[in-house]
Amino acid sequence: MTLSRRSFLSAAGVALGSALGSTVSAGRGNATPDGTARDARGAEARGTAPAAAGVGATPTSKHRIRRGVAMYSYQEDFFVRQMSVEDCLREMSDIGAYGVELLAEMMVPNFPNPPAAWVDQWHGWIEKYHLQPACYTQFIDSLRTRTHTLNVQEGVDTMLRDIHLAKRLGIPRIRALIGTPVDILEATVPHLEKEDIWLGVELHFPVHIHGRLVERLLKIAEKTRHFGFVPDMGIFQNKPNPYLRDHMIRQGVLSPDAAAFIENAWANHKPQAAVAAEVARMNGGPAAAGYVANVFMIRPENPRDLIPIMSRCRHIHGKTWGLGEDDVDPAIDLTQVIPALIEGGFDGVIATEYEGQRHVQDVAPFSAVEMIRRHQVMLRRLLGEIA
Amino acid sequence: MQDPYVIMNTGFKNSRDSGALSGYQIDIRVPYYRGIFLSSVHSLELAVDGQAIAPESLRIRVSGRTFTMAQMLEADSVRWGFGDPATLFVARPGGLKPGIHEVRVAIVIRKSYLPAQDPEHLYEEFPGLWQNGKYSTFIEGPTVVTRRMTLVQ
């Protein structure tokens, strides 16, 4: 498919922009890059109540998948001081999402050098709420100024900044953006091995599992057990995002008729160019043209394609833009994905990453807690914790 | 971060220099879900009551340090923390009249989600990045926020 730069921008801006764009002092906790088994044992060893829940999923012999939350999801509640860091952690504990993915640049005071007292408090919260630090959300900021792009050494220095903070906070894994320059990643590997931190590049839309980028990154992963992937479940989006659509309709930039026409045409495999032309003829406007591009970019990856690289995946972003009261995600269907993760032996945390805040802030602000809870119910069902 | 929170009404006031009203100031927050390097501000435009403010008349204070617009673009070791107010200073002898004013901020944060170059052609499958044999990443359009708010003094 070819897209103009502008239409890609307007269409993918939501997805890319929000999440691409849109997680030791050693000796603390159970931090170890592939120490998920130790994670579980640690919880049991403490004899705490959640151990019965196995730090996430029921510790059946069927799988080793545990539930968590990417704290990105709580950004609005945290920003308006409706929820503190501790409130977020307590909520995660209450819903059995024990795997914590911290977005340090949002929540760590005086980043990247938090006061020692705060670090102690963090470890106290982790202990108090029976949580497991799972992942550190990392950002490379490679275009540091308008004219200066980080060289390899500067990139490694940025990685070391985050590796050291992750270690202080007992977090054994780091998520890197899919756009992290490959030469910086390669130069970071020796530091990951030395510091015993695992780093995974986020497999984020619009990447292809069988594409060149993943093939190239696999060459790095084959040489070390400290490097791999963090699949983002947005690559399995199989339906238009109704929260985006409804927001555009409420804004008056997309008519309900145009939206229905576009979605029906997409579902019936009509050619994109013809649909775009028809929408233009309906005077759809630039936003409607963007919606055409957005919808026609939907092309879910095959979940089974993850199986061959599953041993390289130690953390997952459970992306969602929202779910109905029936706990069904209308846009990202995981019913075929979770079985593939289980079959592939995924051993790690699926961290719910709620990205729908901006779609509903005009009608349902502070939606995160409820939507994360619905996503967690969906995960519990798919993981076999509940019927 | 949520656009409605970018412009703050607290902090909106005239500023004085040696006792005389020399201009006015407005507090804003970074329109993003994390703190940034100040140099990640790709562009920043301010208009008040429909009048664009010339960049030369504008300063920004972050973490206790004040920068011109040109300095801001190079401030690659200064952190503008998530939720932390940055103060915009506008030079205007006499300041603004008490009462309602319309403040418009257009700001672009350069998010570095994609690499600046792609020498190995690894991102060809990403729509829009490679065009006519040339690779370029995109900069998002500006976050534009308008707020009507009252200045007291």
pLDDT in tens, A173-198: 999 999 999 999 999 999 999 999 99
- Which residues from chain A sit within 8 angstroms of residue B83, using beta carbons? 79
Higher pLDDT among residues B125 and B103, named by residue: B103
Number of domains in chain A: 1
Q: Kindly state whether residue A387 falls inside one of the protein's structural domains.
A: no
Q: Does residue B59 fall inside a structural domain? A: yes
Whether B126 sits inside 8 A of A207 (CB atoms) is yes
Q: Is B79's Cβ below 8 Å from some Cβ in A?
A: yes
Q: Which residues of A touch B35 (CB under 8 A)?
A: 105-106, 111
pLDDT in tens, B73-109: 999 999 999 999 999 999 999 999 999 999 999 999 9
Q: Do the chains contact at A5 and B131, CB–CB below 8 Å?
A: yes
Averaged pLDDT for residues A250-255: 95
Q: What is the CATH number of the domain that holds B40?
A: 2.60.40
pLDDT at B136 over 70: yes
Contact B34 A106 (CB under 8 A): yes
In a domain, B83, yes or no: yes
Residues 6+ apart with CB under 8 A from A172: A24, A30, A31, A32, A33, A35, A133, A134, A166, A196, A197, A198
Say yes or no for a CB contact (<8 Å) between B127 and A182: no
Mean pLDDT of the B6-11 span: 95
Quick check: B119 pLDDT over 80? yes
Question: Of A17, A149, A208, which is closest to B116 when you measure between CB atoms?
Answer: A149
Task: Please report whether residue A130 resides in a domain.
Answer: yes
Give A30's pLDDT tier (boundaries 50, 70, 90).
Answer: very low
- Residue at B120 is within a domain: no
**Tens-digit pLDDT profile for residues A346-378:** 999 999 999 999 999 899 888 899 999 999 999
Q: Which of A12, A143, A213 sits opposite B110 (nearest CB)?
A: A143
Which CATH number belongs to the domain containing residue A215 in this structure?
Answer: 3.20.20.150
Min Cα–Cα distance to chain A from B98, Å: 28
Per-residue pLDDT, A58 = 52
The ipTM value here is 0.94
Range of the domain at B38: 3-112+142-151
Asked if residue B102 belongs to a domain, the reply is: yes
Domain carrying residue A217: 5-241+296-382
pLDDT tens-place string over residues A37-71: 334 333 333 334 444 444 544 555 689 999 999 99
Q: Is residue A108 part of a domain?
A: yes
Residue B127 falls inside a structural domain: no
| Cβ contact B113–A178 (<8 Å) | yes
Report the number of distinct structural domains present in chain B. 1
pLDDT > 80? residue B116: yes
Q: Are residues A5 and B34, on separate chains, in Cβ contact within 8 Å?
A: no
Of residues A318 and A43, more confidence is placed in: A318
Residue B52 pLDDT class (50, 70, 90 cuts): very high
Facing A177 at nearest CB: one of B79, B110, B113: B113
Q: Which residues of A touch B138 (CB under 8 A)?
A: 5, 8-9
The reply to whether B13 falls in a domain is yes
Q: B40 vs A141: CB contact, 8 Å cut-off?
A: yes
